[in-house]
Amino acid sequence: MRGRYGLALTVGGTLVALVLAAALLSLLWTPYDPVRVDAAHRLAGPGGAHLLGTDQFGRDVASRLMTGARTTVFVGVVAVGSAVLLGVPTGIAAGMSRGVLGGLLMRVGDFLLAFPALLLAIMLAAVYGTSTGTAMVAIGIASAPGFARVSRAATLRVMAAEYVDAARLARRGRWSVALRHVLPNIRDVLIVQTSVAFATAVLAEAALSYLGLGTPPPTPSWGRMLLDSQELLFSRPELCLWPGLAVAAAVLGLNLFGDGLRDRFDPTLEGVR
Amino acid sequence: MRFFLRKIAGLLVSAVVASFVVFAFLAVLPGDPAEVALGTNATPDAVAALRHEFGTDRPLVVQYLDWGRGLLHGDFGTSYVTHDLIGPRITDRLGVTCWLAAGGMLVAVLLALPAGVLAAAWHRRAAGTVLSALSQAGIAVPAFLAGILLVYVFAVRAGALPAGGYTPLADDPGEWARHLVLPCLSLGLVQGAVLTRYVRSAVLTVLHQDFLRTARAKGRRRRAALWRHGLPNAAVPVLTVLGLQLSTLLVGAVVVERVFVVPGLGDLLLQGVADRDLLLVQGVVLVLVVAVLVVNVLTDLLYHLADPRLRSR
């Protein structure tokens, strides 16, 4: 069975690496300027001078896809990063204290779970206008309870272990236990959760940009490209295909990668799930 | 019984907290609805007068209590932008969104139950792996993308179904259904893919339980044992996921409404954002959040009813 799990990791890792590579490469080089309007070459077909053709403004689709990857990765990294910073300490604190504080923190987390990222982002957009920043904040806040929940559950398991009792008997402080024993032992769970949260963030970012609530034009984003190409569904359907494939490939890659890691870390889960 | 009462009380508290959070979120922001409504050239007197008319010159606590008291009577206030009542606008749209979510759920369940059970029953065969791979791919497709693809296949190429719009049920049931098919499919296919994985893992877990081996030892066929003993036990975890999914569907409907130009709550919400109609946004967000909370509690209760082992607690 090991081979199949290796497959999930390989395929997932490859897809993720491709998106990352496109994003990084776009910082240095894209075939064309992704935002340059070129009226003379509107809706050029794929092949020829433009690998994937041009959109209704004559902008190069391949270049926009690469820059869109950068937007996706940027939003994902900042949003998931802030979710980790918010959620993990909260979860560990809740798991270690177990008292009123722990219960209260988890209550707040449960309540936040009722606020989906999308609603949060829509509220933020109503107040502060649409920007990449509001999208990142909303996705970050909405993903934090997931991290809190997962790290609390994992922390509870670690706290029951004998080595934690030993550390306590050795008069180690709370911080020392948290940093030296809890954090290293819940690392695997957190890595898997990060992969899952990243996939959710990519989906949320695409949906927000599609609704016109994420990254504002002219900066390319996959969701926005989908919105723009939807008008051309009757004449140039393949323009929807590229950004659609990009979103699906990124999410599929992250999900597979997360699954692969989970199986690698926890062989007892084999076959179940 | 005490469990039920506790859940209902929890729901009420959560709903009040939600209303407070939504209000606070939009009230504490910089920017004044009166100034926004009048534009940048307004005189201070005119702004003050409009502020008084809106009631936004009162202390925030009074504003919240006033809004809250109205909510208890189903009064969501009067829009700062369009100057009409928000409540009726929400109730007009709520039905459309509920149809969408319900239809999406139906598609998801009809797809996921057989697919998940088969994927579990065949988990050592190629067919099971193919089903798993398909559901994995389905999860990666956002609902709005599925919507665009479905429009392409069924509206653009086949011309069989409308690409968008909506006809109320009372006007023409046939057209109503025709307009709902694609939006519900795009919501349901994606949710169905997610659900398939949960059904599969629930059934797989059950397949390895002792009681199923006992049933087989008593001479029941594999399929009969699975039907009689396996599926009822697998249903409990699936039910929980189903509840969680219904809330995802409600929110997903917001996006899918945009794809198909369906006049539901999502459409209203985005219109409110575009007009910076904060009271409208406040009302719609609250309705959606409370809907999510209600669904969560109902799921908890159902879960309790479905699993006799939990009832004694």
Question: What is the reported pLDDT for B185?
Answer: 94
Residue type, A46: P
Average pLDDT of every residue of chain B: 83
Residue B242 pLDDT grade (very low, low, confident, very high; cuts 50, 70, 90): confident
Question: What is the reported pLDDT for A246?
Answer: 93
Mean pLDDT of A60-86: 92
Q: Is there a contact between A167 and A176 (Cβ–Cβ < 8 Å)?
A: yes
Residue B75 pLDDT grade (very low, low, confident, very high; cuts 50, 70, 90): confident
Q: Is there a contact between A91 and A147 (Cβ–Cβ < 8 Å)?
A: yes
Mean pLDDT of B5-15: 84
Q: Is there a contact between B114 and B135 (Cβ–Cβ < 8 Å)?
A: no
Instruction: Tell whether the model's pLDDT for residue A267 goes beyond 80.
Output: no
Note whether B148 contacts A: Cβ–Cβ < 8 A.
yes
Which of the listed ranges A48-57, A84-93, B8-17 does the model predict with the highest average pLDDT?
Answer: A84-93
Contacts of B46 (CB under 8 A, 6+ apart): B38
Average pLDDT of every residue of chain A: 84
Mean pLDDT of B243-251: 81
Q: Is there a contact between B15 and B71 (Cβ–Cβ < 8 Å)?
A: no
Question: What is the reported pLDDT for A53?
Answer: 81
The residue ranges of every structural domain in chain B are 87-312
B251-279 in b/e form (b: 16+ CB < 10 A) is bbbbbbbbbbebbbbbbbbbbbbebbbbb
Task: Answer yes or no: is the ipTM higher than 0.95.
Answer: no
Mean pLDDT of B47-54: 76
Taking CB atoms and an 8 Å limit, are B255 and A207 in contact across chains?
yes
Question: What is the reported pLDDT for B2?
Answer: 76
Instruction: Tell whether the model's pLDDT for residue A258 goes beyond 80.
Output: yes
Handedness of CA B287, B292, B295, B296 (dihedral sign): negative
Please count the residue pairs, one from chain A and one from chain B, whose beta carbons lie less than 8 angstroms apart. Answer: 115
pTM score: 0.86
What is the chain B residue with the closest CA to A222? B145
Which residues of B fall within a CB distance of 8 Å from A111? Answer: 14, 17-18
Alpha helices, DSSP H, located in chain B: 2-27, 33-38, 44-54, 60-72, 86-121, 126-139, 143-150, 173-207, 210-217, 222-225, 231-260, 265-275, 278-306, 308-311
Question: What is the reported pLDDT for B6?
Answer: 83
Note whether B22 contacts A: Cβ–Cβ < 8 A.
yes
Which residues of A fall within a CB distance of 8 Å from B201? Answer: 272-273
**Facing B254 at nearest CB: one of A118, A251, A272:** A118
Which residues of A fall within a CB distance of 8 Å from B136? Answer: 252, 255-256
Note whether A271 contacts B: Cβ–Cβ < 8 A.
yes
Taking CB atoms and an 8 Å limit, are B296 and A114 in contact across chains?
yes
A115 or A25, which is more confident? A25
Find where tokens 């990243």 sit. Answer: A198
Instruction: Tell whether the model's pLDDT for residue A64 goes beyond 80.
Output: yes
pLDDT tens digits along A170-207: 888 888 888 888 888 888 889 889 998 999 999 999 99
pLDDT tens digits along A142-163: 889 889 888 988 888 888 888 8
Question: What is the reported pLDDT for B211?
Answer: 80
Taking CB atoms and an 8 Å limit, are A122 and B201 in contact across chains?
no
Phi, psi of A50 (to 5 degrees): -105, 115
pLDDT tens digits along B129-158: 888 888 888 889 988 999 999 999 998 888
Question: What is the reported pLDDT for A73?
Answer: 94
Instruction: Tell whether the model's pLDDT for residue B297 goes beyond 80.
Output: yes
Contacts of A241 (CB under 8 A, 6+ apart): none
Note whether B133 contacts A: Cβ–Cβ < 8 A.
no
Which of the listed ranges A67-76, A216-225, B116-125 does the model predict with the highest average pLDDT?
Answer: A67-76
Note whether A3 contacts B: Cβ–Cβ < 8 A.
no
Strand partners, A47: A50
Mean pLDDT of B71-97: 84
Question: What is the reported pLDDT for A271?
Answer: 43
Which class for B177: exposed (0-12), middle (13-18), buried (19 or more C-beta within 10 A)? middle
Note whether B28 contacts A: Cβ–Cβ < 8 A.
no
Q: What is the CATH number of domain B87-312?
A: 1.10.3720.10
Instruction: Tell whether the model's pLDDT for residue A259 goes beyond 90.
Output: no
Of the listed ranges A10-14, A110-114, B262-266, B298-302, the least confidently predicted one is A110-114
Mean pLDDT of B14-41: 74
Residue A270 pLDDT grade (very low, low, confident, very high; cuts 50, 70, 90): very low
Question: What is the reported pLDDT for B30?
Answer: 60
Q: What angle do CA B17, B21, B22 make, to 5 degrees?
A: 120
B57 or A144, which is more confident? A144
What angle, rounded to 10 degrees, do the helices at B173-207 and B143-150 form? 130
Q: Which of A71, A78, A73 is nearest to A35 (CA)?
A: A71
Residue type, B19: S
Note whether A204 contacts B: Cβ–Cβ < 8 A.
no
Residue B313 pLDDT grade (very low, low, confident, very high; cuts 50, 70, 90): very low
Kindly report the nearest CA distance between residue B170 and chain A, in angstroms.
Answer: 30
Question: What is the reported pLDDT for A272?
Answer: 40
